[in-house]
Structure 1
Amino acid sequence: MSGSSTQGIKTVLHPVSDLAKARAVYAALLGIPPQTDSAYYVGFEAEGQHIGLVPGGGPQDMTSPVAYWHVPDVEAKLAELTAAGAVLKEPAHEVGGGRLVATVTDPDGNVLGILQDR
């Protein structure tokens, strides 16, 4: 199959209702403090993975964790995915630090995250 390959799942975002409580639980789970800690996002870097906590449901009011596949070109990957039958849920947009994210749903409604670091 042609197209751009992924670098695997390296980012998982978790929607949380109480950022302070969730921060404590994930810090205990991972054994490290967050590297990004703000009122709208808490992020942990652990063993090559990025674990993010998003208050208030996060992008498109997500209700469960979303795994983000890292790709070299988010727009190209979105074109490939939608051509293959995925449905665009959240168009590509910058979330800070030059990082672009987008989400699609597969034919069963599962949310797939796509992420590009610039």
Structure 2
Amino acid sequence: MSDSATQGIKTVLHPVSDLAAAKAVYSALLGTEPTVDSEYYVGFDAAGQHIGLVPSGPQGPTQSVAYWHVPDIEAKLAEVTAAGATIKEPTRDVGNGRLVATVTDPDGNLLGLLQDS
């Protein structure tokens, strides 16, 4: 296995217009309460995946994003852009050393990359 092989999709973020309403639906769907519950983010850990709810709008995402976990985000960005992907959002730290970036494939599908420190 290559050093830059992905570790699979482990994080999916969904944009929502009403965090409280979405939290109720996802709590019922997943059969668990959120592990993170704030005014700007609600997150659930279920069956080895992290499902996050984020406010949509001018500053937030407009579509769901599945994040592929990778050991080296910059190396993976270089690989996928050389293969034809386009960077949508460059690498940024979202807290606790977690790095995220998004790219689009040649058909415009949004792909997320995530590296934990």
Q: TM-score, normalised by structure 1?
A: 0.92
1:73–1:116 Cα contact (<8 Å) kept:
yes
Look up the equivalent residue of 1:34 and give its one-letter code: P
Residue 61 of structure 1: how far off its partner (Å):
4.3
2:88 matched to 1:92?
no
Identical pairs, percent: 75
1:35–1:44 Cα contact (<8 Å) kept:
yes
3-state SS in 2 of match to 1:23:
helix
Residue 65 of structure 1: how far off its partner (Å):
1.1
Which residue in the other structure is 2:36 paired with? 36
1:57–1:47 Cα change, 3 Å: farther
Residue 96 of structure 1: how far off its partner (Å):
1.5
Look up the equivalent residue of 2:7 and give its one-letter code: Q
Which residue in the other structure is 2:17 paired with? 17
Superposition pairs for residues 1-118 of structure 1, below 5 Å?
A: 4-57=4-57, 61-118=60-117
Look up the equivalent residue of 1:46 and give its one-letter code: A
RMSD of aligned C-alpha atoms? 1.8
**Distance in 2 separating the partners of 1:99 and 1:33:** 23
Q: TM-score, normalised by structure 2?
A: 0.93
Task: Write out per-residue CA displacement over residues 3-44 of structure 1, whole angstroms, 9 at most, x where no aligned residue.
Answer: 610000000000000001001110110011100111111110
Structure 1, unaligned runs of 5 or more = none
3-state SS in 2 of match to 1:28:
helix
Task: Write out per-residue CA displacement over residues 48-70 of structure 1, whole angstroms, 9 at most, x where no aligned residue.
Answer: 00000011248x64322110000
**Distance in 1 separating the partners of 2:57 and 2:76:** 25
Structure 2, unaligned runs of 5 or more = none
